[in-house]
């Protein structure tokens, strides 16, 4: 079962309610919210107040992706603001084990994110801390901006992680993020990803519901 998380980074943010309605109408399972602090990545997006406003516009799960230097310090505040899934980068300055524990303490699903050049080995000490329904987020573009081209070189990493999860009976999800469209979605699904983030492809599509269906490979939404 493939699930879709819609990134609103490049949506028309003059109309947050309209954006939330579009995501709801799309049949996607969740809304992807990219938080950037201008330190961990070279861009600043949106933070807690906008998430609180968005929370009031939709009942879809909010999949918050922290691209910030110190995620541990902010996990609880993002939980309070309405996140259900919270991912942070293993390359950040926070201790990953402590950050996973903090996200669990707040009652959220935890995700550990890896930038394209970060080897899977960086995950090793933490993979077994993740619980069923937690996830690993593999970036398929350099974090920081939407509308970039998919990095095909990440596909072997997706495959290797899925094999490892299968071999070790880890019931975790693999989320991929960046440059996902109808063509790259197939490759990611075949490689073992089951949670696909997509932004610009969906917001450019003439029929967002049909575009989400394409990302799933024709499967109907179960919502
Ligand atoms: C990049 C973000 C992505 C991005 C996806 O740093 O994490 O979530 O918004 O956007 P598209 O689908 O345009 O690559
Ligand atoms: Zn993201």
The gap between the terminal CA atoms of the chain, to the nearest Å, is 12
Nearest one of 172, 113, 122, 121 to 144, comparing CA atoms? 113
User: Residue 110 domain-assigned?
Assistant: yes
* Closest ligand to the CA of 141: 1
- 221 lies in some domain: no
pLDDT at 21: 98
Q: What is the pLDDT of residue 57?
A: 97
Distance 5 CA to ligand 2 centre (A): 9
Tell whether 220 is covered by a domain.
no
- Is residue 37 in contact with ligand 1, taking CB distance under 6 Å? no
**Is residue 32 included in any domain, yes or no?**
yes
Where in the sequence is the domain holding 77, given as residue range(s)?
3-215
166 CA distance to ligand 2 middle (Å):
25
The continuous run of DSSP H or E covering 208 comes out as: helix 208-215
What number does the ligand 1 atom closest to the CA of 180 have?
12
pLDDT at 220: 66
143 in any annotated domain: yes
Q: Does a structural domain hold residue 117? A: yes
Question: Is residue 130 a contact partner of residue 110, using CB atoms and an 8 Å limit?
Answer: yes
Give domain status of residue 223, yes or no.
Answer: no
Atom 9 (ligand 1): residue with closest C-alpha?
Answer: 146
User: Domain holding 177: CATH number?
Assistant: 3.20.20.70
pLDDT tens sequence for the chain (223 residues):
999 999 999 999 999 999 999 999 999 999 999 999 999 999 999 999 999 999 999 999 999 999 999 999 999 999 999 999 999 999 999 999 999 999 999 999 999 999 999 999 999 999 999 999 999 999 999 999 999 999 999 999 999 999 999 999 999 999 999 999 999 999 999 999 999 999 999 999 999 999 999 999 987 665 5
The pLDDT assigned to 218 comes to: 87
Please report whether residue 222 resides in a domain. Answer: no
* Whole-prediction pTM: 0.97
Q: How many domains does the chain have?
A: 1
């Amino acid at each position: 079962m493939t699930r879709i998380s819609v990134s609103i980074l490049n949506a028309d943010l003059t109309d947050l309610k309209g954006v939330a309605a579009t995501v709801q109408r799309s049949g996607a399972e969740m809304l992807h919210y990219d938080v950037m602090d201008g330190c961990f990545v070279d861009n600043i997006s949106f933070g807690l107040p906008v998430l609180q406003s968005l929370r009031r516009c939709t009942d879809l799960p909010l999949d918050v992706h922290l691209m910030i230097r110190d995620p541990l310090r902010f996990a609880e505040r993002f939980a309070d603001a309405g996140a259900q899934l919270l991912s942070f980068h293993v390359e950040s300055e926070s201790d990953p084990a402590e950050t996973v524990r903090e996200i669990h303490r707040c009652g959220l699903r935890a995700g550990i994110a890896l930038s394209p050049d970060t080897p899977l080995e960086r995950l090793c000490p933490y993979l077994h801390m993740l619980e069923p329904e937690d996830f690993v987020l593999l970036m398929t573009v350099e974090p920081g901006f939407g509308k970039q081209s998919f990095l095909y070189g990440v596909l072997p990493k997706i495959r290797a992680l899925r094999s490892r999860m299968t071999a070790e009976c880890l019931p975790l999800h693999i989320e991929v993020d960046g440059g996902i469209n109808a063509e790259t979605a197939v490759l990611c699904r075949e490689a073992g990803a089951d949670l696909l983030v997509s932004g610009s492809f969906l917001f450019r599509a003439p029929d967002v519901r049909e575009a989400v269906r394409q990302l799933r490979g024709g499967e109907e939404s179960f919502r």
